C-alpha cells in the first residue's frame, strides 16, 4: 500500500498494531521497526504520521495503557535517529467514548451543543488546554457511520450513513468551527474507504466503507466524479477496477499493472 501511494504527494498515516506497543518501548526494536517499515518508503511516499495502537484506553488493558506513552516516546527517538522526526509525527487515536459527557448541556461553559461532534472536539480541546497546551491542532482521525447493521439497530442504513458523512464534510470544511474553537476547519478522515467483509463482530463493523470490496460505491456523498457515479450502475465486473482508478485519479494504474 505504501508503494502504491509513492510519488503522489498524498499524505499517509501508518498505524502500529496494539500488540507491538510493549516491544516498541525498547529502542532497538523501535528503531528496527522504523528501518523496516518506514525508511524504505519515506523518500517516495508522503508518510506524515504514525499512530501507535488503536483505542488503547478503551481496551482496559493496564499493561498496554501504561506503556502507550513510553512506546510513543521511544518511537519518536527512533525517528530522530533516522532524521525523520521533522517530517513524521507520532500520535495515537482514541474512542471519544473515554470522555464523560451524557448530555448536550455543558455546565462548565453553559454551552448547549447542537451536535455530538462539536461537543467531542471541544471536550478534547478543553482537556488539552487544562494541561497547558493551546497551540495543538486537533485531527479527527476516524469518524463514520455504518450502512448496514443487525436487526434492531436503529439508524444503521445507507441513507443515514450518506447523510452523516455528507454533513460531516460540510461541517468540518465550513470555517464555522465549534463553540470553543470558532472559525476553524479540521483535518478529518472518514472511516473507511472499503467495507471490511472479513472483520469479526457485529454486522455494522463490516459496513463502514464508502465502497464495497468489488469497488462499487455503497452510496455517494458528493465526492465521486459524475462519470464514475453514472457508470457504476452499468459496468461489468471487469470494468470495476477502472472505476476505482478514476476515483483515485489514476493513482494505482502503474502499481496494478494497468498503465498504458
| Residues designated as active site | 55, 142
Please confirm whether the linkage preceding 192 is cis (ω < 30° from 0). yes
Alpha-carbon dihedral sign for residues 165, 13, 138, 27: positive
The Cα 122–Cα 140 span in angstroms is 12
The Cα 179–Cα 60 span in angstroms is 31
Going from the C-alpha of 105 to that of each of 50, 113, 121, the distances in angstroms are 35, 6, 15
What phi and psi, each to the nearest 5 degrees, are found at residue 222? 95, 15
The three cell numbers locating residue 134: 493551546
| Alpha-carbon dihedral angle through residues 162, 212, 191, 21, given to the nearest 10 degrees | 170
| β-strands 105-106, 111-112 pairing | antiparallel
State the angle between helix axes of 27-37 and 62-81 in degrees (0 to 180), rounded to the nearest 10.
60
Residues in the chain: 260
The three cell numbers locating residue 183: 472559525
State the number of CA atoms in the 13 A half-sphere of 15 facing the CB. Answer: 12
CB 232 within 8 A of CB 250: no
Helix (H) or strand (E) run with residue 106 in it: strand 105-106
Amino acid at each position: 500500500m505504501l508503494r502504491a501511494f509513492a510519488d503522489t504527494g498524498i499524505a499517509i498515516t501508518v498505524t502500529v498494531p496494539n500488540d507491538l506497543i510493549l516491544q516498541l518501548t525498547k529502542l532497538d526494536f523501535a528503531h528496527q521497526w522504523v528501518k523496516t517499515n518506514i525508511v524504505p518508503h519515506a523518500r517516495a511516499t508522503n508518510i506524515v504520521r504514525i499512530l501507535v495502537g488503536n483505542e488503547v484506553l478503551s481496551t482496559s488493558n493496564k499493561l498496554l495503557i501504561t506503556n502507550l506513552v513510553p512506546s510513543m516516546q521511544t518511537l519518536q527517538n527512533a525517528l530522530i535517529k533516522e532524521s525523520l522526526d521533522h517530517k513524521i509525527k507520532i500520535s495515537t487515536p482514541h474512542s471519544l467514548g473515554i470522555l464523560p459527557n451524557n448530555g448536550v448541556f455543558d455546565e462548565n461553559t453553559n454551552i448547549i451543543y447542537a451536535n455530538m461532534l462539536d461537543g467531542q472536539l471541544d471536550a478534547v480541546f478543553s482537556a488539552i488546554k487544562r494541561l497547558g497546551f493551546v497551540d495543538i491542532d486537533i485531527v479527527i482521525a476516524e469518524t463514520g457511520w455504518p450502512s448496514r447493521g443487525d436487526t434492531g439497530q436503529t439508524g444503521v442504513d445507507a441513507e443515514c450513513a450518506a447523510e452523516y458523512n455528507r454533513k460531516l464534510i460540510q461541517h468540518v470544511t465550513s470555517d464555522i468551527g465549534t463553540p470553543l474553537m470558532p472559525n476553524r476547519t479540521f483535518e478529518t478522515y472518514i472511516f473507511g474507504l472499503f467495507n471490511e467483509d472479513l472483520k469479526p463482530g457485529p454486522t455494522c463493523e463490516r459496513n463502514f466503507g464508502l465502497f464495497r470490496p468489488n469497488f462499487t460505491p455503497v452510496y455517494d456523498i458528493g465526492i465521486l466524479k459524475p462519470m464514475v457515479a453514472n457508470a457504476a450502475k452499468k459496468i461489468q465486473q471487469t470494468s470495476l477496477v477502472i472505476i476505482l482508478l478514476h476515483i483515485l485519479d489514476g493513482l494505482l494504474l502503474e502499481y496494478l499493472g494497468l498503465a498504458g
